[in-house]
Structure 1
């Protein structure tokens, strides 16, 4: 099973969603010198403004700027978030709380669909980190020469994506071809990440996706990532490993996985291939 679906009736207020997109757009319209104070190309930085994906590794950069925010626990990270726009911290904090609660509800549903206890995924993933990428894709004069983000799967457990309602750009790989995900009002896109593929012993599959750009319109998206505790040991759930369905992946820590992921280019083969049994 693969996720890359737009989800309605998710319980997050439409007004809050509109405020998140508005304050994100306002941030990227700040003067360049104001935003430059947050710039870093160090992927270990908890709060940073950067561009492309991994500018230290790439030979061809992607057409994207993004603000990376760590979000849990909020009281630890929010003081260092941008103070401009003035309502940025309050609006994004409210959204982070709602997204985290939604993610845990989705974990319960996924666990039960696999015949596991409802609490299995949440408990196995440990005291989860949460972070966010506020993505800005400017108009590109030659969009056929680059991507906003090339094809990849997400290294975390679960991604909840808020898309610009007016401009499409997300594509997912389905049955061997790239399919545009046209935004629906009020919807959120839910993507399974690599860690749920491993825990489900391959029954759930992380979603290959990419972002394309266009020549005349900017686009925004807000990706929220739920991530395992860095030291937690991951691997297929014991109940899902049988003589007929042996373990597909070996055990590893999320810290080990994440370091491997960031040492590569984004569009290389699936990072989970490095952890097969």
Structure 2
């Protein structure tokens, strides 16, 4: 599996944000499948509504990655439009082996079926978000998301806090490693294509990161007896550069906001979902959109999703790239911010759409 260094723990790794400990949703369901505690019930205006937008799902762009790799102009153009109009796309022919995807799904399913005391061996500490539990909980009054999560920083390896990595099922650490390496390779190549559509050399975007950091979050959404009253993950945009998500094939739960409607992103077997993060929106001065999205629950089946976040080193200063600012208006939508400050500021608040991006906005436009 490579050097021993891969699985050594490091106390010097950065911490990100504290989160208030809250109940485990999966356990609540085991105790009483019909119970939906008040702390999870959304205000009527925040609930998933009955309007079915699934007919728009087929409009979410699908990019053939094998064509992108060849520098196909038409596919690059599709990518450009997807990043501008949707901020989301699904990737097919992405090169991540089917068995790698399946092994990750099987291992995660086994992990979430473990007894609570086993999962709690890697429970999140009071000062950080690595481990098993809930992030972005900042107060006891906050309405909670209908999900549990496992969150790990996977790259660079010296940022790993291995005491928060699961030991069971057997081999899960190696499976996370193998999956994350494959996703990282895909993410790196996607960033090269995004660099091209932004009018730069292929390696330019990667260079701007100083170091490409990678975090991994597995979300577990138990079934809910009143799915129309809860939200699996609150509406938010991602603080990453890009996010690559694997969905469960048979269960839809991801929705993105498009023209003020919530559009479901129906899983395409073996495809991966990619979305533009806040960092690309800032570097592109708002040309490419980091879109609000959320996850909804359903009443009969648990759902698991697997999100890999790629983002810059803490010390990187993010601001619109000169050539992305319109030469006539010269209007800059974002000011310069240090990425580490931006990331922690957003993690220290509850998820509320794009409210966290205000700290990076030029005041006159806020």
What's the TM-score once normalised by structure 1's chain length?
Answer: 0.94
Question: What's the CA shift for 1:76?
Answer: 5.5
**Residue 246, structure 1, aligned to residue 328, structure 2:** no
The SS at the match of 1:198 is: helix
Distance 1:268 1:177, change over 3 A: closer
Q: Is the 8 A contact 1:136 1:220 kept in 2?
A: yes
**Residue 50, structure 1, aligned to residue 133, structure 2:** yes
Alignment correspondent of 1:62: 145
User: Where do 5+ consecutive residues of structure 1 fail to align?
Assistant: none
Output the CA distance in 2 between the equivalents of 1:85 and 1:78.
18
CA deviation profile, 1:96-135 (whole Å, cap 9, x unmatched): 1111111111111111111112112111122021110011
Q: Is the 8 A contact 2:218 2:305 kept in 1?
A: yes
CA deviation profile, 1:153-200 (whole Å, cap 9, x unmatched): 001111000000111100011122111111111000001000110011
CA deviation profile, 1:230-270 (whole Å, cap 9, x unmatched): 01111111222233342211111111101220232202543
Q: Larger % of helix: which?
A: 2
CA deviation profile, 1:210-248 (whole Å, cap 9, x unmatched): 000011110001000001100111111122223334221
Q: Is the 8 A contact 2:136 2:348 kept in 1?
A: no
The SS at the match of 1:71 is: strand
Distance 1:41 1:150, change over 3 A: farther
Within a 5 Å distance, the mapping from 1:130-209 to structure 2 comes to 130-209=214-293
Q: Is the 8 A contact 1:41 1:55 kept in 2?
A: no
Q: Is the 8 A contact 1:41 1:50 kept in 2?
A: no
Alignment correspondent of 1:94: 178
Alignment correspondent of 2:101: 17
What's the TM-score once normalised by structure 2's chain length?
Answer: 0.72
Q: Give the number of the structure whose alpha-carbon radius of gyration is greater.
A: 2
Output the CA distance in 2 between the equivalents of 1:180 and 1:41.
34
Alignment correspondent of 1:114: 198
Alignment correspondent of 2:121: 37
Query: Once superposed, what is the RMSD of the aligned Cα atoms?
Result: 1.6
Output the CA distance in 1 between the equivalents of 2:322 and 2:220.
41
User: Where do 5+ consecutive residues of structure 2 fail to align?
Assistant: 1-83
The SS at the match of 2:343 is: helix
Paired residues, what number?
Answer: 275
2:340 to 250, 255, 265: 255
Output the CA distance in 2 between the equivalents of 1:165 and 1:175.
26
The SS at the match of 1:223 is: strand
